[in-house]
Amino acid sequence: MSGSIVIAGLGPGAARLVTPEVSEALSAATDIVGYGPYVARVPDRTGLDKHGSDNREEIDRARHALQLATAGRHVVVVSSGDPGVFAMAAAVFEAIEAGDAAWRELDVQVLPGVTAMTAAAARAGAPLGHDFCAINLSDNLKPWTLVEKRLRLAAEADFVIALYNPVSKARPRQLGQAFDILRPLRAAETPVIFATAVSETNERIDAMPLGRAVPERADMRTLVIVGSSQTRLIARRDRPAFVYTPRSAPAETSR
Amino acid sequence: MSGSIVIAGLGPGAARLVTPEVSEALSAATDIVGYGPYVARVPDRTGLDKHGSDNREEIDRARHALQLATAGRHVVVVSSGDPGVFAMAAAVFEAIEAGDAAWRELDVQVLPGVTAMTAAAARAGAPLGHDFCAINLSDNLKPWTLVEKRLRLAAEADFVIALYNPVSKARPRQLGQAFDILRPLRAAETPVIFATAVSETNERIDAMPLGRAVPERADMRTLVIVGSSQTRLIARRDRPAFVYTPRSAPAETSR
């Protein structure tokens, strides 16, 4: 019996943002593997084994999924958002490359999902309407000096900047340091969006100017978007302003 | 009667990649507005008015949608992929900002979708597993010098680079120029992914080294991903290699 492994994106949180393709894969699975809170999103049913594990155990989790598939199981590895963006897909391929040669011949599929930055952007308006970059602020797997370099170059390129994993209990200071790097390089009124628990009942979206952006506003479930020189607000009477980045850029920003 | 406007992402193409949230919005709409081929993806039904228009008419299309909503209609503006990524959401907000004050008070919602780069990445492996940027290669609305500057800075930052709108009939040469800029800055063996018509029956995914990447491989339905210095291939026996970017980056790339 030949097994399979599907690496599926559950989207930001709500079931209404899970693609039919992913729902079908979950229905066909014999095993669900992933970070505990994401595995918990998949409803229990007879014949389904759920293997929730702790955060920061991605490689062990990937190996476990590959072993199950090699043993003939139909495994779905779940990620929040899109599995290819700072999530489980790269971990599974790392495990495949370093592991048993048979793992390369497994049936492996990646199913995309709605990633956190586009879900967050949608709630605020259209801040990603022009060229942008996505930077994982965690320095668990890369040197912080590289993050700093990328922030400076992203500012110079005038990209809108999406910051994934802005803080964690073990890394409380990175977001503040990122703002400190960006403040001399972008106008104080540049909109910064904090989007927390997007699509869930406790969703919270705030926009504030970079000059007064408070890193403590972010938690582990927050995606932060820092606008470019062109990102702007459209004020409304009784509701939060829309935040968006126009499609066009003037010639001057190319200096 | 108060109308509404929803700007919805249809994902890369296949119905299995449309979120339930977007499907519900399409079911509740009185009017669908968008580029003809995207409007055509929405099934006809009694009571639904479909308004397909030509490409490159985004602002007129946005104004039309806003006028319909002001007249009490429930309008869904459809985009391919995610509406906030180089698509209709920014155009609608541009129209709102420049238009009738009443438009600011309309009920406006953006519904995210699976964007082209994550759908393309999923088919190739996990090339977006590390920090990346997204650049719209069209210079219809920004100076080409700005695109060149961004490509150089993105290479210096060692971002994986997703190129949206790499070519069109009116812009046949931009992708070749982009490769020319990147070739001296990245190794010749850097993987480049061409992903065309992702999720559709005529889907085609190719990976080739930057040194031999042929811009003519791209058409208007192609998303191009250029790897970073860390992007790598995992060879397989009878199938295309997986392409992925590891989560970690060595200290040396921060020089």
Check CB contact under 8 Å for B249 and A16. no
CB contact under 8 A, B132 and A128: no
Confidence of residue B56 (pLDDT cuts 50, 70, 90): confident
Strand partners for B224:
B163, B194
β A132-136/A232-234 pair status: unpaired
> Which chain B residues are Cβ-neighbours of A8 within 8 angstroms?
none
Q: How confident is the model at residue B195 (pLDDT cuts 50, 70, 90)?
A: very high
Q: Residue B255 — pLDDT band, cuts 50, 70, 90?
A: very low
Using a CB-CB cut-off of 8 Å, the residues of chain A touching B153 are 153-154, 156-157
How would residue B75 be classed by pLDDT, with cut points 50, 70 and 90?
Answer: very high
Cα separation, A184 vs A181, in Å, equals 7
Residue B57 is predicted with a pLDDT of 86
Point out the residue among B82, B141, B232 whose CB comes nearest to the CB of A247: B141
Query: Among all residues of chain B, which has the CA nearest to that of A114?
Result: B114
* pLDDT score of A253 more than 70: no
Inter-residue contact A31 to A51 (CB < 8 Å) = yes
Neighboring chain B residues of A240 at a CB cutoff of 8 Å: none
Lowest average pLDDT, out of A54-63, A246-255, B127-136, B177-186, goes to: A246-255
The strand pair at B4-9 and A132-136 is best described as unpaired
C-beta atoms of A86 and B129 within 8 A = yes
Is residue A255 very low, low, confident or very high in pLDDT (cuts 50, 70, 90)?
very low
Q: Find chain A residues with C-beta within 8 A of B127's C-beta.
A: 84
The pLDDT tens digits for A18-64 are 999 999 999 999 999 999 999 999 999 999 999 999 877 899 999 99
What are the pLDDT digits (tens) for B224-251? 999 999 999 999 998 999 999 999 998 7
**Angular region, A222: left φ>0, alpha ψ -120 to 50, beta rest:** beta
CB contact under 8 A, A134 and B130: no
Residue with tokens 């809170």: A37
Nearest-CA distance B241 → chain A (Å) = 9
| Sequence ranges of chain B with CATH classification 3.30.950.10 | 117-254
Check: CB of residue A115 under 8 Å from CB of residue A128: no
Eight-class DSSP state of A196: E
pLDDT, chain A, mean: 96
Percent of chain A with pLDDT over 70: 98
A&B contacts, CB < 8 Å: 250
Query: CA of B110: which chain A residue's CA is closest?
Result: A122
Kindly report the nearest CA distance between residue A217 and chain B, in angstroms: 23
| Chain B: residue whose CA lies nearest to A246 | B90
- Domain at A4-114: CATH code: 3.40.1010.10
Whether B126 sits inside 8 A of A253 (CB atoms) is no
- pLDDT value at residue A57: 86
**Pairwise CA distance, residues B237 & A163, whole Å:** 38
pLDDT in tens, A90-148: 999 999 999 999 999 999 999 999 999 999 999 999 999 999 999 999 999 999 999 99
Q: Rounded to a whole number, what is the distance in Å from the CA of B146 to chain A's nearest CA?
A: 5
CATH 3.40.1010.10 domain position(s) in chain A: 4-114
The confidence score (pLDDT) of residue A254 equals 43
The fold for domain B117-254 equals: 3.30.950
**Per-residue pLDDT at B252:** 62
* pLDDT of A1 above 70: no
Please tell me the distance in Å from A112's CA to the nearest CA on chain B.
5
Give me the residue from B58, B89, B126 closest to A126, CB to CB: B89
A18, A82 Cβ separation under 8 angstroms: no
Distance (Å, whole) CA B8 – CA B21: 9
CA dihedral B33, B39, B43, B45 (to 10 degrees): 30
Task: Name every chain B residue with its beta carbon within 8 A of the beta carbon of A18.
Answer: 19-20
Find out whether A73 and A1 touch, Cβ atoms under 8 Å. no
The beta-carbon neighbor of A132 closest among B18, B133, B244 is B133
What pLDDT score was predicted for residue B254? 43
